[in-house]
Structure 1
Amino acid sequence: MELAAGNLSEGNASGPKPPAPEPRPLYGIDVENFITLVLFGLIFAFGVLGNSLVITVLARSKPGKPRSTTNLFILNLSIADLAYLLFCIPFQATVYALPTWVLGAFICRFTHYFFTVSMLVSIFTLAAMSVDRYVAIVHLRRSSSLRVSRNTLLGLGFIWALSIAMASPVAYHYSLFHLEVSNQTFCWEQWPNQGHKKAYVVCTFVFGYLLPLLLICFCYAKEIRDDQKSFYSFMPNGQSLRGCVPFIRCHTMIKNCSIIQFLNNHKVN
């Protein structure tokens, strides 16, 4: 009996351990999705607050005093970001909160379309800002006639028009798909020709990210080579660009994440 008891105890000690309990859903949502929703909420809250403050400050100008070109560019960045936060983030969050898409075909297309528009507007605006600084530093004599509000507004209008046109295939190829087995509806991208999808993704990456990045690097290199001291002090009325640099760096990192998300959304098999 003692031997049997000893064998039984050894068998219990060396037997397989019970599986670890799986994390329980929070409010009916998986833990990973719940964490994602919390991050979405923080991004939405701080993004709306920060961009609203920037827009409020930059939109105010003294009567008769023209806005600087740099302020117009930063104002455009904030408007694009705020529009994305208001019109895309809440709808994208439902993907993690609900098991099925409930917002209809229009919101399905509009959310992904405007995400792409906002991404392109921001990247093109950052490139335009680098060209603006390049003109102000390297071509100082001609900068006063080129760097005027009218030219900047025309450039920003062209940026929005180009971004809207480049993003149009996204709106066309997103649609709703219903799975009868699980009775679920999904907002998915569907291209009849994978070759066309690959061409669009590659062209968007090249013209919407790679070339603007090369342009920014070229302008920065020329600015530093021409006059390193004036690189941070070209702005009129004694204003300094140093206060804008943290904003621009932060915005650049965010848009790098956006282009990664864009490529992830448009994977080509």
Structure 2
Amino acid sequence: MAFLQANVYSNVLEMEVSLNIILPQKTEKKIGTATSGHSTDVPVLYLLHGMGGNHSVWERRTSIERYVSDLGLAVIMPSTDLAWYTDTTYDMPYWTFIAEELPVICHELFPQLTKKREKTFAAGLSMGGYGALKLGLAKSEHFAAVASLSGAVDLAGRTDDLLSIKGKNYWEGIFGPMEQIQGSVNDPMFLLEQLVKSGKEAPKIFLCCGEEDPLLYANKTMAQALAGHGIEYTLETGPGNHDWIFWDQWIQRVLDWLPIESKEKA
């Protein structure tokens, strides 16, 4: 595998943005770390960080590079600050960056990446789990599968939980008036309803959460909503809290779950 660190300019954000990238590379080693490389149509996973993290945190807190070494999978890890994968009310369009501009930048810099929906995936933890699900619901034409680890996936229904993390001014800087989150483009439940009404094909959805995690109820609520709309999903829970011990373990489960063609042929 090749591990790259990039600083790119975002025309949407009008600022430099940092990315970490893992790319398949053919290597021959004698210590059990040989990997296979691909030069075209490489499947890609956009892997999103949570609050307090950035583009480096998945690489630093887990063994993600080792976990994908035999999968022929590229992993894109962008930094999106504390903006909740949203076009904020303070005029920073992070949603437009992550959903529209970032894939264009990545395909320009790494032309071996696939442009096929069936080989494009998103995943994330906590805030990033919200972002990954949002990508899957709002941009279903681009993603075959999305996974949310301990995601804040019932955002509008649990605004009291948000206020226990940061103050009202912060949240309204991101989303606008908190009472208006529900039924807006930042509400995953609303996005789910819109996707169903559109008749578009939904991505496969994976939800996981620790049984001691405060967000467990939110994930169960989202699972019930997906089931009610007939959307294919998987909900799995296990021992654990809202921490990297859980996420390091469960990102491996997510990678097993992803419908990666090269993995199926291995």
TM-score (norm 2): 0.25
Structure with the bigger percentage of helix: 1
Instruction: Decide which structure has greater strand share.
Output: 2
TM-score, normalization by structure 1: 0.25
Greater Rg, structure 1 or structure 2?
A: 1
Structure possessing the higher relative contact order (Cα contacts under 8 Å, 6 or more residues apart): 1
